[in-house]
Structure 1
Amino acid sequence: MACKTMTMMRFTPRGYGGTRRDPDQVRRDGWHELGLLAVSVDDPRLSWPEREMVVQLGCKLYGPRASEGGHGDG
């Protein structure tokens, strides 16, 4: 039997104001504040060697992507 309090809960929070941060700003803040780097291999600001380095780092740290079929092994 379901708990009656669950049916009264709101799933959309109300009273929260503010604006959503730009994804690039979130990544920038992560770099400056935590030393974390979130990079897309498809980022047009990167040159081919830079994109390849990102792929190699990702494969080394987390293994190959499903779409790569083993690219970067070793």
Structure 2
Amino acid sequence: MKWLPRGYGGERRSPECVKREGWREQGLLAVTIDDQRLTWVERELVKQLGEKLYGKRPLLKEVR
């Protein structure tokens, strides 16, 4: 049984593709603090911008 009519299925875009198109088309930037393509200074800048705009992230509790 098919859920969609033929020709409407398409392919799912990768998260990197969605981020790239969001930046190019709408000026949106989605960056993870752990992105290894960034230097330490760049990661700190991203962290500081996130905290300024949205507040500090909650601390993760260690599960034992």
Q: TM-score, normalised by structure 1?
A: 0.70
Task: Determine if the alignment matches structure 1 residue 36 to structure 2 residue 28.
Answer: yes
Task: Give structure 1 regions of 4+ aligned residues with deviation exceeding 4 angstroms.
Answer: none
Identity in percent = 59
Task: Determine if the alignment matches structure 1 residue 53 to structure 2 residue 39.
Answer: no
Structure number with larger C-alpha Rg: 1
C-alpha distance in 2, partners of 1:24/1:40?
12
Match of residue 4 from structure 2: 14
User: Residue deviations 1:11-49, cap 9 Å, x none?
Assistant: xx5334110001001000000000000000000101000
C-alpha distance in 2, partners of 1:26/1:39?
12
The gaps in structure 2 that reach 5 residues or longer are none
Q: How many residues align?
A: 56
Q: TM-score, normalised by structure 2?
A: 0.80
